[in-house]
Structure 1
Amino acid sequence: MLNQVRIKEIKSVEEHIEKLSELLVKVVEDGASIGFLPPLNPSDAKKYWENLLTPEVILFIAEINNEIVGSVQLHLCTKQNGMHRSEIGKLMADPLIRRKGIGRSLMEQAENRAREEGRTLLVLDTREGDPSNYLYSSMGFVESGRIPDYAKSANGELNATVFYHKILT
């Protein structure tokens, strides 16, 4: 499967807005903790994508047979004291084809781009207990801390979030 995946940066969501919105709705419905709760209205998903891209946000998508099956964002810090760092945002993979290397490929692409941008620190957070914790640890991210009751799940339960960092060399 991995050799069929194509990762690419997109500079405009316009031609991909429907597929990106479908992906977002799918992953939220599947329980992903990425800032939304199910049921996510498709028009809200579309609005999210329409307002995402700015000069400091780089968006990568994963495609198989020209179908979007994943995405990740790289947020470049623009503060004077933070020009050396960037943050990973909203790593998503289609729930039907998870654990096939799509998330890892997207993360590798974002990490490489961070290096190209001269960034030496990469940070991210994820819900405690999610499978993404294993992915990030396996890619050399180090747990930096936890905040209890950080994000609400669909069932109303409050969950901790885990912050990770990685020094890029």
Structure 2
Amino acid sequence: MTENVTVRRVGADEAAACVDALANVLVDCVEGGASVGFMLPLPRAKALAFWRGVADGVARGERVLLVAEQDGRVVGTVQMIVSLPDNQPHRGDVAKMLVRRDARRRSIAQRLMAALDDVARSEGRTVLVLDTVTGGDAERLYQRAGWQRVGVVPKYALMPDGAFCATTFFYKHL
């Protein structure tokens, strides 16, 4: 159920204020095995530093940050990187789609992605791209949401425990 879940875009000041809560989401996801650029153990200081950098990127207009909140607690997030080369003003890179383990299976990720589509349209972005672990739940989510699978790169990244994982690349035209 998602009646008490809100999904919204946060601006620069609010992004900075959300750093602690976003670090909680990141640590939870990495501890749950999410391959999102971090290895185990993920020190809290490293998670906080990452989100401070994201907040700085939001302040500079380089990133869009959305959060999902349930009963006032941040339970999910997704970003769109909009600071891209001059020949790609129509594109956005989707990054760090995360939902806490205790908030999954409630359509929160689906709502985050739908809200990101809306923001992308409002920002004049007509092509979105992303990558995800091959065979994971997120891959199925993106396919159901109309994303087109481009292909798979074996051994593209590491899981948080150090094992190799393949990565599937997707795009979506809005």
TM-score scaled by length of structure 1: 0.95
Q: CA deviation at 1:156?
A: 2.5
Residue 34 of structure 2 is matched in structure 1 by: 32
Contact 1:4 1:64 in 2 (8 A): yes
Residue 6 of structure 1 is matched in structure 2 by: 6
Match of 2:23 among 18, 21, 24: 21
How many Å separate the matches in 1 of 2:28 and 2:91? 30
Q: Is 1:46–2:38 an aligned residue pair?
A: no
Residue aligned with 2:114, SS: helix
Residue aligned with 2:106, SS: coil
Q: Is 1:146–2:144 an aligned residue pair?
A: no
Residue 89 of structure 2 is matched in structure 1 by: 83
Q: CA deviation at 1:94?
A: 0.8
Q: What amino acid sits opposite 1:8 in the alignment?
A: R
How many Å separate the matches in 2 of 1:15 and 1:71? 14
Contact 2:7 2:68 in 1 (8 A): yes
How many Å separate the matches in 2 of 1:38 and 1:140? 32
Residue 95 of structure 1 is matched in structure 2 by: 101
Write the deviation string for residues 69-105 of structure 1: whole angstroms up to 9, x where unpaired. 0000011143221011101100010101211010011
Aligned identity (percent) is: 35
Runs of 4 or more consecutive aligned structure 1 residues displaced over 6 Å after TM superposition: none
Contact 1:77 1:87 in 2 (8 A): no
Q: CA deviation at 1:123?
A: 0.5
Match of 1:128 among 121, 128, 134: 134
Residue aligned with 1:90, SS: strand
Gaps of 5+ in 2: none
Contact 2:35 2:160 in 1 (8 A): no
Q: CA deviation at 1:9?
A: 1.2
Gaps of 5+ in 1: none
- RMSD, matched Cα: 1.1
Residue 80 of structure 2 is matched in structure 1 by: 74
Contact 1:77 1:85 in 2 (8 A): no
Higher relative contact order (CA 8 A, sep 6+): 2
How many Å separate the matches in 1 of 2:37 and 2:162? 14
